Amino acid sequence: MSKDRGRDRDRDGGDIYDPAFVAGLFDRCSSNYRRWSAVSSFGFVWLWRKQCVGLLPVENHQGAVVVDLMAGTGEVWPHLLKRLPKLGTITALDISHRMHTEAVERLHGAYAEKITHIEADALQTDLPQNHADLVVSTFGLKTFNAEQQTVLAKQIARILKPGGRFALIEASDPKGWVLRPFYRLYLDRLLPKIESLFLKGANDFSMIGTYTRNYSNSSYMADVLRTAGLGVVCKKHFFGCATSVAGHKPHPHQSQP
């Protein structure tokens, strides 16, 4: 997490890491989420989801049980099904009721029967231990503070089967990149104005600026995943504008890399 922690209150004083706050935020964003995230990121979110799924192995994926944490409207499923066409099921877990509704409404025809929806807090999910062959999460980490990331890492370690693999990606703050001032200007100043103009005064999507500044990058998440017993590899995407963590749960007799 960033050492120069930003604020953790929104403009009305709400705790931006309270799961109820986050659920409300995404409920409000849900109807515009797909288009807004694609357009405001200039298509990068599409590429980063693809790159995240590319970190999962294709070998032996027949019948694989996949858990998509913070699944939202299911934007990662087309990538998953393209890379892993013989996967068994996708469990889509998300705390926002409306994000699930949006996902169901435009469900993904031929593969709808492969998807199970769970409306729950990922920090408290009672998905069974050693349940998943693969865990994926795209852009679902930044709304967790350090303490919550520690809990999430333990959940991922618990849910994964021994030998299971995971890949997570999140928008990040590209510290040290020469163009970072422009990136920050865009996130912190321009996006809020554009959103307010086009979405009638709303400032929900603009919270991404605060969340990414606080999140910084995925290195803290990587640390807590390691502490939870997983093998972890970190990667920067496009000069650190996104960062991923991928890896595996060792078999009990294996030592960690």
Ligand X SMILES: C[S@@+](CC[C@H](N)C(=O)[O-])C[C@H]1O[C@@H](n2cnc3c(N)ncnc32)[C@H](O)[C@@H]1O
Q: Which residues bind ligand X (CB under 6 A)?
A: 19, 22-23, 26, 37, 49, 70-72, 75-76, 93-96, 99, 121-123, 138-140, 143
The residue among 144 and 230 lying less far from ligand X, judged by its C-beta, is 144
Query: Considering the complex, what minimum distance in angstroms separates the CB of residue 255 from ligand X?
Result: 32
Helix ranges (H only) for the chain are: 19-40, 44-53, 77-83, 97-105, 146-159, 180-185, 191-198, 207-215, 219-227
Query: Considering the complex, what minimum distance in angstroms separates the CB of residue 23 from ligand X?
Result: 6
Give the residue at shortest CB distance from ligand X: 72
The residue among 60 and 124 lying less far from ligand X, judged by its C-beta, is 124
Which residues are paired to 135 by β-bridges?
67, 166
Query: Considering the complex, what minimum distance in angstroms separates the CB of residue 26 from ligand X?
Result: 4
The residue among 183 and 231 lying less far from ligand X, judged by its C-beta, is 183
Within 13 A of 69's CA, how many CA atoms are on the CB side?
Answer: 30
If 0-12 CB within 10 Å is exposed, 13-18 middle and 19+ buried, where does residue 101 land? middle
Query: Considering the complex, what minimum distance in angstroms separates the CB of residue 228 from ligand X?
Result: 17
Using only C-alpha atoms, the chain has a radius of gyration, in whole angstroms, of 17
The residue among 46 and 231 lying less far from ligand X, judged by its C-beta, is 46
**Cα distance between residue 220 and residue 45, in whole Å:** 21
